[in-house]
A and B are shown apart, each in its own frame.
Chain A
């Protein structure tokens, strides 16, 4: 019994220690390493010795301490060569900035406008105190800053470092990065596309009724269809109209109210107006007529709408209005009619 009791006490003690122990004697956690990278605007070899146009430096420090400078060392000796970047050692040629940095990154504080020095293969940039765990970035541009190596490497074989230091050059964070340099212009993808010339034609309705043509009165068609042309053709478009009968014809009587360009106020007749132009559309005479004036409708195609360039995005449009007038010389019938063919095409 005593042994059993002892075992129970021992087990309880063990459990207590195991539960409380980690809080009383916390173990050491693994250190979080600083992370960072150098991104160059071009990764192709500089076959002609021309310089890249800059790049981006980012670092997420973890070392704590008061950073006063950051040193970026590029692979090589600072002179353009097979596996070596060339650096322009005139610090004023390097323009530093904090715009266009990755979303979520913080502008690197204290970097100034130019590096403090550029020597051999190391660029030294001033810095203010950094907060651990925060990603800081800055960019560098310039007409002559970095010249890429003169020949491609094999994989990510070009390595360098980004290191923050205190004012006394005490080491804080250091990260290693690797770059892969490819053949000349092989870091670019050529993109080509073709936008074909297209042409859209819409006619909003296809019947216009006059109803009763009261003798001596100018009657306007009951509907005014809209013709809409949308095209990106550089030479523009033209729309034509042709009439089957060149007039309103009664099939039962073989009698026609002939179409002509005229003022219907003083003449019987039949014709068309094209108006309410929108977009770039230009109405062609004689269909610019207004009031009681109309343009003639013929059996041949007559242009009524045109433009010498592309339409607006929503399309160029005009509305068609038909007018007719009968007088006592027109035989009575209920089937006076016509068929108009409205045609449009892109210009060439």
Chain B
């Protein structure tokens, strides 16, 4: 009934097949030889909140906060939390810097290092033990950086390491706190605008020993001293650190003719050097807001020095003159007048000739 030879062949084939399967399985468990590994660190994508921390405390107290971190990649990433300081460069811009100053050690984290799982949040507790001798402003940047950064370049090149910072502003309340800013300059970005928006730059320097949040208004007045607009600057309540020079802006764009950025699919279109492209927008519902002539901008900024509000004032003038439209309209008008005169002249001459012939 059964072919004995065929059966034997089948059995042998089956045995070979089984051995093959085992062999493949074992092979797959053996680690492969090291390849020319370029990079052990995956690209970074993290979310942290809050984006900055603003604290006020008494000397000798302990303050606690919480930071949340989310690893948005598909890989687990080991992180370490350390502290930098926030300082200013020669231009007065805020920059982070490594520091071994004593106040850096006041901050501790729990955990200070951990592995963030993919697409999961990790909570980090932060504690600041403020000595009784502390006073005024201390400015930190909580650094959140991956630690799997053992990247080796095999050829000429650069490695990029990403890290996120959470600025932390600490005001230790103590007598002698000095909140003081100077108005460095207030001027429009141009003296002459063809169209709105007219942008105003307000630059302060913090000469005190604590951070300050100046706020205020820019009053746009016509030649007859009527208020054409009231602008607000620093609505976001941004702070200035001691020693920092910061420029706030206010923009006047309420008018009949306004240059606006070209936006496509919610993205501002830019030119080859990255500047936003603009186009002229005619707001027909603001026909009575046709801006032309000389205007004055009056700045009234205010900051609190700890006991009262201190005003800072300045004035600047600027012009708005849509010359292209006006000159174009004038040219058309003149052309109409010339053509009209020529036609009337020609008509009169024809009529005279007609009657003369009669």
- Enumerate chain A interface residues (CB-CB to B < 8 A): 196-213, 221-222, 225, 227, 231, 233-238, 240, 248, 275-280, 283, 288, 290, 300-303, 308-309, 312-314, 320, 322, 324, 334-348
A322 to B160, CA, bound (A): 11
In the bound complex, residues from chain B placing their C-beta under 8 Å from that of A236 are: 236
Counting CB contacts under 8 A, is B49 at the interface?
A: yes
Pairs across A and B, CB under 8 Å, 5 listed: A201-B44, A201-B45, A201-B48, A211-B155, A345-B96
B96 neighbours in A (Cβ, 8 Å):
240, 301, 343, 345
Give the Cβ gap from B124 to chain A, nearest Cβ, in Å.
14
Chain B count of residues within 8 A CB distance of the other chain: 52
**Number of A-B residue pairs with CB-CB distance less than 8 Å in the complex they form:** 193
Contact B158 A339 (CB under 8 A): yes
Report the nearest A residue to B236, measured CB to CB: A234
- Using Cβ atoms and an 8 Å threshold, which residues of chain B touch A222? 157
Q: Tell whether A221 pairs with B158 under 8 Å between CB atoms, given A201-B164, A209-B153, A234-B235.
A: yes
How far is B155's CA from A210's CA once the two chains are assembled, in angstroms?
A: 7
CA distance A76 to B269 in the complex (A): 65
Residues of B within 8 A of A196 (CB): 49-50
Residues A300 and B97 in contact in the complex (CB < 8 Å), given A202-B45, A233-B51, A279-B268: yes
User: B159 and A207: CB pair below 8 A?
Assistant: yes
Q: How far apart are A95's CB and chain B's nearest CB, in angstroms?
A: 28
Are A207 and B38 in contact, CB atoms less than 8 angstroms apart? yes
Q: Using Cβ atoms and an 8 Å threshold, which residues of chain B touch A322?
A: 158
> Is there a chain A Cβ closer than 8 Å to B169's Cβ?
yes
List residues of chain B with CB within 8 A of the CB of A343: 96, 143, 162-165
Q: Which of A212, A240, A346 contacts B167 (CB 8 A)?
A: A346
| Interface residue B6 (Cβ < 8 Å from any Cβ of A) | no
Asked if A212 and B161 sit within 8 Å, CB to CB, the answer is: no
Given known A-B contacts A280-B268, A345-B141, A348-B52, A199 and B156 have beta carbons under 8 A apart? no
- CB-defined contacts of B165 to chain A, threshold 8 Å: 343-345
In the complex, which residue of chain A has the Cβ closest to the Cβ of B234? A235
CA distance A278 to B261 in the complex (A): 13
Contact A199 B48 (CB under 8 A): yes
Q: Does B36 contact A (CB under 8 A)?
A: no
Q: How far apart are A325's CB and chain B's nearest CB, in angstroms?
A: 12
B249 within 8 A of A: yes
* A221 in contact with B157 (CB, 8 Å): yes
Distance in Å from the Cβ of B254 to the closest Cβ of chain A? 18
Chain B residues near A320 (CB, 8 Å)?
160
- Interface residue B270 (Cβ < 8 Å from any Cβ of A): yes
- Residues in B neighbouring A202, C-beta threshold 8 A: 43-46, 72, 162
A338 touches B158 (CB 8 A): yes
Q: Interface centre among A205, A231, A300, A343, by most B CB within 10 Å?
A: A343
A291-B50 Cα distance, complex, nearest whole Å: 39
The answer to whether B164 touches A198, judged by C-beta atoms less than 8 angstroms apart, is no
Please list the 9 inter-chain residue pairs (A to B) with the smallest Cβ-Cβ separation, ordered nearest first: A346-B51, A234-B236, A203-B162, A198-B49, A345-B165, A209-B157, A199-B51, A202-B45, A348-B52
Which residues of chain A are near B307, meaning CB under 8 Å? none
CB distance from A254 to the nearest CB of B (A): 16
CB nearest neighbor in A for B153: A337
Q: Out of A308, A313, A335, A340, which one reaches B156, CB within 8 Å?
A: A335
Residue B63 at the chain A interface, CB threshold 8 Å: no
B48: min CB distance to chain A, Å: 5
Identify B274's interface contact among A233, A234, A283, A309, CB under 8 A.
A283
Do the beta carbons of A312 and B38 come within 8 Å of each other? no
Q: Decide yes or no whether B47 CB sits under 8 A from chain A.
A: yes
In the assembled complex, B266 has its CB within 8 A of some CB on chain A: yes
- CB contact between A234 and one of B46, B161, B237 (< 8 Å): that residue: B237
Given A206, A212, A312, which contacts B266 in the complex, CB threshold below 8 Å?
A: A312
Q: How far is the CA of A222 from the CA of B154 in the complex (A)?
A: 14
Q: In the complex, which residues of chain A have a beta carbon less than 8 angstroms from the beta carbon of B161?
A: 206, 339-342
Picked from B47, B95, B164, the residue with its CB within 8 Å of the CB of A301 is B95
Residues of A within 8 A of B41 (CB): 206
Q: With A206-B151, A225-B160, A320-B160 known to touch, is A197 a contact of B44 (CB < 8 Å)?
A: no
A340, B164: Cβ atoms closer than 8 Å: no
CB distance from B197 to the nearest CB of A (A): 15
Closest to A276 in B: B274
Task: Check if B163 sits within 8 Å of A337, measured CB to CB.
Answer: no
Question: Given A205-B43, A206-B159, is A348 in contact with B167 using a C-beta cutoff of 8 Å?
Answer: yes
Q: Is the CB of B48 within 8 A of A344?
A: no
User: B315 at interface (Cβ–Cβ under 8 A)?
Assistant: no
Residues of A within 8 A of B164 (CB): 199, 201, 343-345
A208 touches B158 (CB 8 A): yes
Residue pair A197, B51 in contact (C-beta under 8 Å): yes
- Decide if A342 touches B47 in the complex (CB within 8 Å): no
Partner of A277, one of B50, B169, B266, B274: B274
Min CB–CB distance A188 → chain B (angstroms): 30
Whether the Cβ atoms of A277 and B270 lie closer than 8 Å is yes
What B residues does A200 contact at CB under 8 A? 45-48, 72
List of B residues within 8 angstroms of A235 by Cβ: 52, 236-238
Q: Let me know if B158 and A340 touch, CB within 8 A.
A: yes
* Residues B72 and A197 in contact, CB atoms below 8 Å apart: no
A346 and B43 form a contact (CB under 8 A)? no
How far apart sit A343 and B236, CA to CA, in the bound complex (Å)? 23
The reply to whether the CB of B166 lies closer than 8 angstroms to some CB of chain A is yes
Contact B153 A206 (CB under 8 A): no
Q: Are A207 and B163 in contact (CB under 8 A)?
A: no
Q: Which of B44, B166, B267, B270 has the most CB of A within 10 A?
A: B44
Measured between beta carbons, the chain B residues less than 8 angstroms from A203 are 43-45, 160, 162
> How many angstroms between the C-alpha atoms of A280 and B160 in the bound complex?
23
A170 to B39, CA, bound (A): 90
Is there contact, CB below 8 Å, between B160 and A336? Answer: no
Asked whether B24 is an interface residue with its Cβ less than 8 Å from the other chain, the reply is no
